[in-house]
Structure 1
Amino acid sequence: MDPRMMHLAQYVKVPIELNAKPGNKVVIITDTNMDPLLWQTVAAVAESRGVEVSLFLMTPRAAFGIDPTPPISAAVRAADIMVDMTTRALGHAAICDEIRKAGKQAIYMNGATYDILSSGAATADYAAIEQLGQTLMALWTECKEVRVTSRLGTDLVTRTDGRKGFYMAARNRWLADGRVLDAAFPDGESGIVPLEGTGEGIVVWDTTVEQIGLLQEPVKLTVKKGWVVDVEGGAQARQIRELLEQHGDRNSYNCPAEISIGTNPKARITGSMREDKKKWGTSHIAFGTNSEDGGVIRAKLHIDGLIREPTVSMDGRVVVQDGAIKV
């Protein structure tokens, strides 16, 4: 076996061992922009656990949250577990809503590289990440108003009355309220889907944005009554506006579609949101689809942007202060 594959297998076995059982039917979806060594290793690890693996290769989707091809979607419906190893995440696509409601599992490894899957966040203590995630999920569920600020100008207030928090820690979880918590790898976050139409203020993404990468300068979103009304900044802000215009729809401007806190102390800033948004003490705020986690808006896009050192308050209680989690 390739030495690089042997090294990688030590880490990618984590989500497989946490989620797959012998006899499970697993569909791995990848695309032509992904390193074949990655999906080959995941397939080999899964097969070693008695899992039946099917591999599907496609060309990259035009944007995040777009369904795979119809034949692949059909295979996903027939499987027990979907593993997303694409360039652009399927996590907010309609097919993922469908399998989630059917009680099936998903493992999101989109946007990963060899380095991301074998160092940094991949090496963390996932039991500890799950414990922190559960604590934060309870706080999210209890709160009614969330405020996020940052030194670079973020000041967003939104309501969360009646919404339930979630967390992600590399393991699919079935909750007593009927929800399924998804898994990713690397992983580590906890968040909530705010009430539609309640977001007011400014969001300044200062680190990384999905489908854009590392930011050369901050991107400023103006949010009024739950909708993005302006996207300001330099060339990358223009890319975001073009992404919305070319691949989005009216609902893609819904904001905040999600507010989450990174909970993985080993995560680094890499330029890929697969790892960056998991970094302990960061916050990512999204626009677009929110129907996966209790929301009611289905959009063509779901785009996360990262704030590196946020302050997050829940009903006035500071839970994250300048990038440090306080619980």
Structure 2
Amino acid sequence: MDPLIEVAKSILKHNLNLKEAERVLLVTDAESYEIADVFFQAGTALRNETLLMKMETRSKSGEEPPLMVAEAMKMADVVLCITHHSLTHTKARKDASREGARVATMPGITMDMLQEGAITADYLEVEELTAHYCGLLDAGERVTIEKENTTLTFSIEGRNGIPSTGVFREKGESGNLPSGESYIAPIEDSADGTILVDGSIAGIGVLTEPITLTVRNGRLVDASGKEGKQLLDMLGDGNGRIIAEFGIGTNREARLTGNVLEDEKVFGTVHIAFGSNKPFGGTNEAGVHIDCVIKEPTVTIDGKKLSFH
């Protein structure tokens, strides 16, 4: 276990900029407890006050943690959410960030992911690539994604691109770890068309066959195949089906493994998500947020084709 503790210490010091006397909170559940305990040992080895809170596993990504966890998150300097389902797009995470906590969310992280793939990236390069694509999103108004014979278009006018670099140096910074993506909340009712998803879907994994999503006025109205039906069931019949996010992967070391935490960071992929986007500049609250990863699409912003080199 010692090499893993060294990895966790390095993450706390370099990715989360942990300083002397800062308080660390680890939020976990039964599925992720073993990895959270590695970080607990790392935090205590660094002589920081470190607390581990184990909660009942949430039923889906975007579901709020218990009130006691949410309150504790606001009191910490550094928070790691090492959980089965994502707490990234929750009010609890947003409130903790507002109070100044640096929050890293690590949904579904595995022991393998602590040692291989995205976590091993050159994070200076990740920061540069992420800033580049965020600049294009900030300046852009209309996005078109094409994949085989499908096309999806939507507006991002007036919305800001958000960098997720996996490096959190300043008070209130938050995002996934490992990371590497530039993302934005599209205008909720602006998306129209169809898009072929051939990578993976959060909560489902790597797809056994590509599925076609049909979106009308920003709402997912159909998804083909058995896994498409699974997606619709996870999102429910309400606000969960509204388009929430468009993201661009910026981590050259990330692999498509079936774990969306790493999948959506793969360089050369993009992802769209449905459900909650209020925590990052949108208007929709749904209690669910599900990402769908598309491999090597053609993307244009205001008519200019994105380069993945």
TM range, normalised to the smaller chain? over 0.9
Q: Please, which of 234, 243, 258 is the counterpart of residue 271 of structure 1?
A: 258
Aligned to 2:271: 284
Give the distance between the partners of 1:295 and 1:173, measured in 2 at CA. 25
Q: Secondary structure at the match of 1:130?
A: helix
Give the distance between the partners of 1:158 and 1:173, measured in 2 at CA. 33
Q: Please, which of 180, 183, 193 is the counterpart of residue 191 of structure 1?
A: 183
Does 164-173 or 287-296 show the bigger shift?
164-173
Give the distance between the partners of 2:7 and 2:176, measured in 1 at CA. 13
The answer to whether structure 1 residue 206 and structure 2 residue 201 are counterparts is no
When normalised by structure 1's length, the TM-score is 0.89
Give the distance between the partners of 1:99 and 1:133, measured in 2 at CA. 24
Give per-residue Cα distances to partners, 1:26-48, cap 9 Å, x unaligned.
21111111251x11221222233
Give the distance between the partners of 1:103 and 1:227, measured in 2 at CA. 34
**1:149-188 alignment runs, 5 A limit:** 149-151=146-148, 153-172=149-168, 181-188=173-180
Give the distance between the partners of 2:297 and 2:41, measured in 1 at CA. 40
Residue 172 of structure 1: CA displacement? 2.5
Identity of aligned residues (%): 33
**Alpha carbons 1:133, 1:169 under 8 Å: kept:** yes
Distance 1:291 1:15, change over 3 A: farther
**1:4-83 alignment runs, 5 A limit:** 5-17=1-13, 18-19=15-16, 20-34=18-32, 36=34, 38-83=35-80
Q: Please, which of 289, 295, 299 is the counterpart of residue 308 of structure 1?
A: 295
Aligned to 1:241: 232
**1:85-124 alignment runs, 5 A limit:** 85-124=82-121
Give per-residue Cα distances to partners, 1:5-39, cap 9 Å, x unaligned.
22223433343113222222221111111251x11
Give per-residue Cα distances to partners, 1:213-238, cap 9 Å, x unaligned.
1111122221111111112222x222
Letter in 2 for 1:24: E
Q: Please, which of 249, 253, 271 is the counterpart of residue 241 of structure 2?
A: 253
CA RMSD of aligned residues (A): 1.8
* 5+ long unaligned stretches in structure 1: none
Give the distance between the partners of 1:120 and 1:108, measured in 2 at CA. 17
**Alpha carbons 1:11, 1:123 under 8 Å: kept:** no
* 5+ long unaligned stretches in structure 2: none
Q: Please, which of 121, 126, 131 is the counterpart of residue 129 of structure 1?
A: 126
When normalised by structure 2's length, the TM-score is 0.93
